[in-house]
Amino acid sequence: MFKARILSLLVALLFAAALRSQTPASWTTPLPPFKIVGNLYYVGSEDLAAYLIVTPQGGILINSNLASSPAQIKRSVEALGFKFSDVKILLISHAHYDHCAGSAEIKRLTGAKYEVMDADVPVVESGGATDFNYGMDKSMHFPPTKVDRVLHDGDRVELGGTVLTARLTAGHTKGTTTWTLDEQEGGKTLHVVIVGSPNVNPGYKLVGNKQYPQIAADYQHEFEVLKSLPCDIFLGAHGGYFDMLAKIQRMNAGDKSAFVDPGAYKAYITDREQAFEAELKKQQAGRS
Ligand SMILES: [Zn+2]
């Protein structure tokens, strides 16, 4: 009896350790928050991006990240001199636990209105249980969170004079959202694009996917949309998409336009589209 309990405790500990080891250190390593441009700030960790947009009517937060992230995000918002309770609207890049698991806690702390792209709403409200690929994988689940406004492709999110546009760029999830907004700096308009995710995860079925029959067509549509967007400032759901740590170094060395990088945006989209096409060809040839 005693031995069995020790054994089950050991199994539980090993399981917890395995879960934790799935989370890269860069996802939880804090990063000093900073201004990107205009009223747009970075408040995420070393790799899990979270963005704060500050307006006279309160803040918009993009991404709540891991269930453990709200405390880090709150500290970053406060370090910039803003009040966390001023966050009025919460948005996400897509309904995976590394971008939306903290949403329930952030709603509780701020009372923010949670606005999510239509096709990601069931996943968010089921805590990941209805995800087309990870629904059965409990390690990918997160606290179910009620959505307050269902967004559709092209919808605008407005607060205090700032307008964000939600672009449906599905494939990675059915409701993956790329956010665009314009910022003014030095008398110039800068187009900002926050990429939702163009990545084909390991194990994604692009051919004959019963849970998501139109997945390949959605990715193809996503790349058409991403290629059509004017972009001066390239951002995304992970810092790794846009080489953030290198850009911070340039910014800290005095480069005021370190984040203005339209060439990197184009190169990134091309690279991701090629990776998608290669994986699709491989699966179509039955070599997946
Ligand atoms: Zn994801």
Q: Please give the structure tokens belonging to residue 55.
A: 């307006």
Tally the C-alpha atoms within 13 A of residue 217's C-alpha that lie toward its C-beta: 5
User: So what's the pLDDT on residue 16?
Assistant: 47
Concerning whether 238 is annotated as a catalytic residue, the answer is yes
Radius of gyration of the chain (CA): 19
Concerning whether 152 is annotated as a catalytic residue, the answer is no
pLDDT (tens digit per residue) in 101-127: 999 999 999 999 999 999 999 999 999
Q: How far is the CA of 96 from the centre of ligand 1 (A)?
A: 5
Q: How far is the CA of 275 from the centre of ligand 1 (A)?
A: 16
CA–CA separation, 205 and 208 (whole Å): 7
CA–CA separation, 172 and 197 (whole Å): 6
CA–CA separation, 89 and 166 (whole Å): 14
Sheet with 34-37: list strands edge to edge.
34-37, 40-42, 51-55, 58-62, 87-91, 113-117, 149-151
User: So what's the pLDDT on residue 186?
Assistant: 85
Question: Annotated catalytic residue: which of 41, 51, 96, 232?
Answer: 96
Q: How far is the CA of 196 from the centre of ligand 1 (A)?
A: 8
Burial string for 153-188 (b: 16+ CB within 10 Å, else e) reads bebebebeebebbbbbbbbbbbbbbbbbbbbebeee
Concerning whether 141 is annotated as a catalytic residue, the answer is no
pTM of structure: 0.92
Q: How far is the CA of 93 from the centre of ligand 1 (A)?
A: 8
Q: How far is the CA of 116 from the centre of ligand 1 (A)?
A: 15
140 pLDDT above the threshold of 70: yes
Question: Annotated catalytic residue: which of 41, 47, 51, 94?
Answer: 94
pLDDT (tens digit per residue) in 63-116: 999 999 999 999 999 999 999 999 999 999 999 999 999 999 999 999 999 999
